[in-house]
Amino acid sequence: MSTEQEKPELQVDEENQQQEHTEVGEHEYTIDELKLELVEAKRQAHENWDKAVRAQAESENLKRRTQKDLEDAHKFALTGFAKELLPVLDSLVLGLQAATGDSEEVQKFREGSELTLKQLESAFARFKIEPIEPLGQPFSAELHQAVAVHPDPSVEPNTVINVFQKGYALNGRLLRPAMVVVAKAAEQPAVNSPGIDEQA
């Protein structure tokens, strides 16, 4: 009887072992091995997904940077040319300021120079080259270059009170800072404290 009872148990164990093994190709895998491989496959799939998402994000960032660089190249292509024209404009303005007198020749020179100056300023405006007008404005180190400071009690300290040379910007980017004189607070005379004996 006992040997007959052992046979069915042996058959059940063999059947369980057969169920736990699955043939893939010529290699047999246990359920545990398949579970481990599934976990590894999921991990690799997750890593690959992360890599694909990062690659797509980098591609988008590169596309945006390239687009911005291209836009900047279009917007600021005239930077060098505009910087070369600024001294010409300055000379024209100085020539107009120096042309004083009532003679007919001086008047003709002034009219021609004023017309040329208007045309040049109009061309600057068309290409977004704009003057920086700092007079009466607070001093800004980003837009102005202080060439002198001067006490002036009639205005707030750090206010631009004179402009030696206009500044210019191209599409909002500084081409040349304005050269300015800045107000400073008037110096207070030193007051000696009463009752102090300096001889002591």
pLDDT confidence of residue 184: 87
User: How far, in Å, CA of 158 to CA of 169, rounded?
Assistant: 22
Domains in the chain with CATH codes: 79-184 (2.30.22.10)
Q: What is the DSSP letter of 154?
A: T
Q: State how far the Cα of 158 lies from the Cα of 166, in Å rounded to an integer.
A: 18
* Mean pLDDT of the 56-83 span: 87
How do beta strands 178-184 and 144-151 pair? Answer: parallel
Summarised one tens digit per residue, pLDDT across range 50-65 is: 999 999 999 999 999 9
Pairing of strands 167-170, 173-176: antiparallel
Helix (H, G, I), strand (E, B) or coil at 176: strand
In tens, the pLDDT along 80-126 reads: 889 999 999 999 999 888 888 888 888 898 999 999 999 999 999 99
Any idea which residue has 């980098």 for tokens?
58
CA 152, CA 161: separation in Å to the nearest integer? 8
Task: Determine what percent of the chain is predicted with pLDDT higher than 70.
Answer: 80
pTM: 0.60
| Residue 190 in this model has a pLDDT that exceeds 60 | no
